[in-house]
């Protein structure tokens, strides 16, 4: 069970279909396919579904800013103002950097909650 969950999340991180792992989630850099090209799984079950990806993106962006600041602080003593001047722009880049990754992870989370349409073939 744990390995299945890890495998489904790995498929989301690699921007693949959480159901089969073969179909690509994105057809362009910004737009997702409506359904999997390999197994037919529908990626968007309802309008507004991607709103949850915003929270995933926010968490990843904050994590990037915190880890970036901590790592930089290991090598250079940082004042609070320097930390904010470096950490905030790095965190502001997060939503762009993690746009696709957050959608992939969110799709996997929805699939784990059985929110997508067709049954998983392994069940
Ligand atoms: Zn698929």
pLDDT single digits (tens) 43-62: 887 778 888 899 999 999 88
- Cα-to-centroid distance, 19 and ligand 1 (Å): 5
Ranges of residues in the chain with a pLDDT under 50 are 123
pLDDT, position 25: 94
Torsion sign (Cα): 46, 56, 29, 36? negative
Whether 20 is covered by a domain: the verdict is: yes
- Report the C-alpha gap between 15 and 65 in whole angstroms: 23
Q: Where are the beta strands (DSSP E) in the chain?
A: none
**Number of folded domains that form the chain:** 1
pLDDT, position 102: 95
- Cα-to-centroid distance, 100 and ligand 1 (Å): 17
Whether 117 is covered by a domain: the verdict is: no
Whether 60 is covered by a domain: the verdict is: yes
- Cα-to-centroid distance, 92 and ligand 1 (Å): 33
- Cα-to-centroid distance, 40 and ligand 1 (Å): 6
pLDDT, position 123: 46
Whether 123 is covered by a domain: the verdict is: no
Whether 40 is covered by a domain: the verdict is: yes
The residue written with tokens 């930089």 in the block is 72
- Report the C-alpha gap between 24 and 18 in whole angstroms: 10
Range of the domain at 60: 2-112
Whether 120 is covered by a domain: the verdict is: no
pLDDT, position 85: 81
């Amino acid at each position: 069970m744990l390995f299945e969950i890890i495998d489904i999340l790995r498929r989301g991180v690699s921007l693949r279909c959480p159901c089969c792992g073969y179909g690509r989630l994105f057809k362009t850099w910004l737009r997702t396919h409506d359904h999997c090209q390999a197994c037919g799984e529908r990626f968007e079950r309802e309008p507004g579904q991607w709103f949850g990806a915003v929270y995933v993106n926010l968490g990843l962006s904050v994590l990037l800013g915190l880890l970036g600041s901590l790592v930089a602080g290991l090598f250079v003593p940082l004042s609070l103002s320097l930390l904010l001047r470096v950490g905030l722009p790095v965190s502001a880049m997060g939503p762009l950097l993690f746009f696709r990754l957050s959608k992939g992870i969110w799709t996997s989370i929805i699939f784990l909650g059985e929110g997508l349409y067709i049954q998983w073939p392994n069940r």
